[in-house]
Structure 1
Amino acid sequence: MPFLNKVVLITGGGSGIGEATANKFAKAHARLALVDIRADILKESAENCEKISKTKVLKIVADVSKEDDVKRIIEVTLKEYGRLDVLVNCAGIHGEVTVFDDNIMEKFDNILGVNLRSMVALTQAASAALIESKGNIVNVSSVRAKAGAVSFAYSVSKAGVSQFTKAAALDLSPHGVRVNAVLPGPMKTNLMIHAGLGSKPSLAGKEPLKRETKTEDVAELIMFLASESARSITGSEYVVDGGFLLEH
């Protein structure tokens, strides 16, 4: 059990990829700290993990785009567990933004605040604890970092995640801390529904493999990158998209 007694902090842990990742780590007997802005879905996700692991899960209701909340997330986790081994930056939002929008900067700042700025802030806040444990970070980006921009703000934020992952890996590698990113392809998650995109035709399942990528597929990749099996991997990006990028 490679994650026994390891402390894993997952943002966006209430639904989608974050929830699936929490379930995987719960099965591996990790000690979990789950973060979400919505208390209701966070509670449900945490309770499910507790049923799986038979271990208490730390629930932190927070807005990762706010610096005070970011500091509190790390402080509460360290107070509860005394250490941090893995940070999974999974919190994210989507939204339609065009250059013709009157409130373009408000929308742009909101999306980058959650999808990118929060990862920078959390990485900085968690760095000392991760250096002490020789831990690692896995960031959730998107194939939209590389493919055509459906919503430019979202695509820009995810491209930023990919570049930040490389920069953070360079900064932290001398201290034995690895930083990697996963780039999921199209899939049906609450992120799309909450963004008002649930009624639009989905590309999920129309990739070359003709197999819809599931949140569990991404979670398995995240667990691999967080494990000792990936001990020589840092600053890398891993696409899990059923071949989507081959055609886009």
Structure 2
Amino acid sequence: MPTPLIAGNWKMNGSLNLVESFGQALADADLPSRLEVALMVPFPYLEPAARALAGTRAALGGQTLSDQPSGAFTGEVSGEMLRDVGARLVLVGHSERRTLFGEDDAAVLARVRRALDVGLTPVLCLGETLEERDAGRGEAVVIGQLEAVADALEADQRSRLVIAYEPVWAIGTGRTASPEQAQSVHAAIRRRLATYDDALAERVPLLYGGSMKADNAADLLAQPDIDGGLVGGASLKIDDFLAICQSAG
């Protein structure tokens, strides 16, 4: 069974004060012994967060990366830069990157490869839209997004992935994914991973990224194929984030 991971994605939110407050809170927190924690903060806060989180259980992560190592790409950030300031993980293919910035499966694969090349752990995000789910294609879309990356990787590269399922249809639509619905998709992902290698399916952590909060985390994390959470808004609230971490113990 993979080690549980609770990863907070701050998106384009936060402040230096919040970074410092989280660092102090995590330093003082009595977290479950079998738990990994990560914070994906905006680029300007990566170095301050590295200092604030030093000595805590929390790893540092980026929210995306370029598919290029360097060059004339104004506004982009390379994997080497993320690693240089202490990041260990990076989100790739988040639903907002796919929908707002046009990242298709080929772009996601290129970024996964760059992350792996520089020693970062890619957190590969998968998820279907409301239209895709209502058309009965939800699971097929998610598995297709997985295959677009996993089919192109070597076995040792696939084993270094973390996978996060985000039901895009349940974020900001007024509709909610039940723990059973989330478990069903996670189980399908696990089954597809097993077709590559049974050990891979047992090793790769599967995170749920559909509005995990303090009041629903325990029910979600109790599902057999949900190994942790990719937490959005609740990761900006110290008490809520720590409560979610405790639910994973």
TM-score tier by shorter-chain length is 0.3 to 0.5
User: Larger relative contact order (C-alpha < 8 A, sep ≥ 6)?
Assistant: 2
For normalisation by structure 1, the TM-score amounts to: 0.41
For normalisation by structure 2, the TM-score amounts to: 0.40
